[in-house]
Amino acid sequence: QMEYPYLCFLVTGGHTQIWEVQSPGIYKLHSTTVDDAAGEAFDKGARILGFSYPGGPEIEKYSLAGDPDKYKFPIPQVKSNPLNFSFSGLKTAVYYLVKNQEQNNQEFTNNVCAAFQNAVAETLINKCKKALSIHKLNQLVIGGGVAANQFLRDRLKAELKEIDLFFPKFERCTDNGAMIAITGFYRLNKNKFKTSINIKPRWNLSEI
């Protein structure tokens, strides 16, 4: 059972962030992406390989027959904040590898998918480890569309054995309606609803 505070790892097509959830409605942002989000990187990598949208499931499918150690993609680091994410360089590395490949066959595609997925997972897991250690927390909630990636789930379970991990069901990973509803439920129980509505296209969670 989750207890406050805990870390929430939000991994979607638009966000790659690590939040400290101190109580319902009280959040502190520890990490975000400086360019592409993880899900966006999957989609762009898939487009380079000629896959359809959404790209994450396609890359995951073809990676099953690939060798994750065949190609070494960069693990990006952000000097301004070691917890922040960056995936634009990884996407660029995939682009040039595919562009310069003389024989683009199925084996090549499978290996690129496996190595690319492995690099994304390695980046995500390393940042989670650092955040959990720095903030001395032992619970991690993973949400968002990329949380449906079984490879990422298995890696997190294998490498964070001392951490309590919480995953939504696969069918709930992209269900924003369910996430909004449960947030509303907790806020209603705390009588935290405001009488006026302010509309902002990009509203930071810590300001709500």
pLDDT digits (tens, 9 = 90+) for 90-127: 999 999 999 998 777 999 999 999 999 999 999 999 99
Instruction: Please name the residues in contact with 89: beta carbons below 8 A apart, sequence gap of 6 or more.
Output: 74, 76
pLDDT for the residue 73:
94
Say how far apart CA 89 and CA 208 lie, in whole Å.
33
Q: Cα–Cα distance between 144 and 162 in angstroms, integer?
A: 23
pLDDT at 65 exceeding the cut of 90: yes
| Max Cα–Cα distance, the chain, nearest Å | 63
pTM exceeds cut of 0.75? yes
